[in-house]
Amino acid sequence: MNNWKRKIEVWEYESQVFPKQKSINWSIKDLANDPYKTVHKDLEITFFQLLLSTAKSMLTKSYKYSTQVALFARSYSEVIQLLLDDKDGYLAFNYEFRDILKDFSKVTRHGEIAQGINYFYAKERLGAYAVYDFKDYAKRCGISKKCSGYTPDYVYCRSKDKAIGILESKGTMQATPTSFLTHGHEQCTNGENYLKNHGIVPAHSYVSAVSFGTTSRAIRRYSRIYISDPSNEFAYEDKNPMKSNLYEYSKLFYLAGKREITEKLMSGEKILESDLEFAGRFFVNNGLIIGAWDVRDAFTNKMVRLNLGLKPSLVDYLIGKNDDLEKYEHNSSEYQEEFSDGTFMIIES
């Protein structure tokens, strides 16, 4: 098992290309000089980043600790190893599995992986420091009335100005996910109106659709994220950034199997130094190991231990010794990943 790195193309479309009426037939045109399209820098993602983002995206709907949910999220280590491959340096779906898996829609279970990519995109490109399930966020804001119609997947809190935004996540094997983006726009509009009716006006609402390329040489395209911004206004700030930060860090403890700490952080409560002393195994590479996954290397069939850990200054923040969260650099190597939020994952030798 190694921490590979792959690229994904990123194309952004302006919202005016989307029809206002469902009856209008249209499609995205792959034109080099399309005035409504902006081609952004490729998104780079490592195996550890994708694994952790996919696992965390599954936890946004988990309102309390569940051992079964934690184990299911961990299981995607082998799924990602087997289903994803390399095509000229770009992330690609292993074409063989489309016929092997008994899946009538032929999507080969890419949905959860697409969620992970879009979750990572929110953190990496939209500047999110916390990502909530949409319905969970509404509940946390004291909104008890249910929203009629479809809603987007996520609410995220943005680092630079503490503004909140909403994100609808899609995944497909189609080359041009026209219908997914159109439906996503409707979901964002519905969700935006629902929040506005309760005094919460999102700064942005994005639709992000991952279109997977495959290893088949007969299909000459790479994996691509299609992104669109249905609106652009600012009015509402995250009322408690520290609480949102603690919620986001709760996901790592969740995956590490630390129930009590997870539930404290989920509720926005800082933890005690004694909690970490009990949870932490030892310090290594200037960090505290809080737990580990024992996962199988899908190609050698050997068990591998993935350690999850925290940087020392992040430990100080979580226990209240430091009120300011340090900015961390992202570093990646073949056997470890230091994430930009002060956490890390390392293969135990």
User: What pLDDT digit, counting tens, does each position of 284-295 carry?
Assistant: 567 889 988 888
Which H or E run contains 131? strand 128-133
Final residue of a structural domain among 196, 215, 232 = 232
172 and 261 in a common domain: no
Final residue of a structural domain among 183, 203, 232 = 232
pLDDT number for residue 86: 87
pLDDT over 90 percentage in the chain: 34
Question: pTM score, two decimals?
Answer: 0.89
158 and 36 in a common domain: yes
Cα four-point dihedral sign 149, 153, 78, 67: negative
Mean pLDDT calculated for residue range 144-152: 87
The least confident of 42-51, 154-163, 259-268 is 154-163
Provide the number of structural domains found in the chain: 2
Average pLDDT, the chain: 83
Question: Would the pLDDT of 339 be above 90?
Answer: yes
Interval 47-105: pLDDT, tens: 999 999 999 998 988 777 888 888 888 888 888 888 888 888 999 888 776 666 554 44
**Nearest to 52, CA basis, from 139, 1, 120, 126:** 120
Mean pLDDT calculated for residue range 36-53: 90
Question: Would the pLDDT of 124 be above 60?
Answer: yes
Instruction: Please state the three-class secondary structure of 74-113 as a single string.
Output: HCHHHHHHHHEEEECCEEEECCCHHHHCCCCCCCCCCHHH
Final residue of a structural domain among 212, 232, 252 = 232
- In angstroms, the CA 318 to CA 265 distance is 9
Enclosing domain of residue 52: 5-232
pLDDT number for residue 32: 55
218 and 246 in a common domain: no
Which H or E run contains 58? helix 47-59
218 and 304 in a common domain: no
138 and 198 in a common domain: yes
CB atoms within 10 A of CB 164: 26
Specify the higher pLDDT residue, 315 or 238.
315
Interval 175-185: pLDDT, tens: 777 778 888 88
Name the one residue in this structure whose structure tokens are 């979580």.
318
Q: Which residues pair with residue 345 across a beta bridge? A: 308, 337
226 and 94 in a common domain: yes
- Three-state secondary structure call for residue 171: strand
pLDDT number for residue 278: 61
Question: Would the pLDDT of 333 be above 80?
Answer: yes
167 and 221 in a common domain: yes
205 and 288 in a common domain: no
Q: Which tokens hold the place of 92?
A: 């690609």
Question: Would the pLDDT of 6 be above 90?
Answer: yes
CB atoms within 10 A of CB 98: 15
305 and 158 in a common domain: no
Question: Would the pLDDT of 13 be above 50?
Answer: yes
Specify the higher pLDDT residue, 325 or 36.
325
Mean pLDDT calculated for residue range 235-244: 75
Question: Would the pLDDT of 229 be above 80?
Answer: no
193 and 251 in a common domain: no
- State how beta strands 343-347 and 303-310 pair: antiparallel
pLDDT over 70 percentage in the chain: 85
Question: Would the pLDDT of 25 be above 50?
Answer: no
Are 288 and 343 in contact by the 8 Å Cβ rule? The answer is no
Mean pLDDT calculated for residue range 298-325: 88
258 and 119 in a common domain: no
Distances from the Cα of 97 to the Cα of 4, 6, 55, 94, 114, angstroms: 20, 20, 22, 6, 16
223 and 323 in a common domain: no
- In angstroms, the CA 82 to CA 36 distance is 36
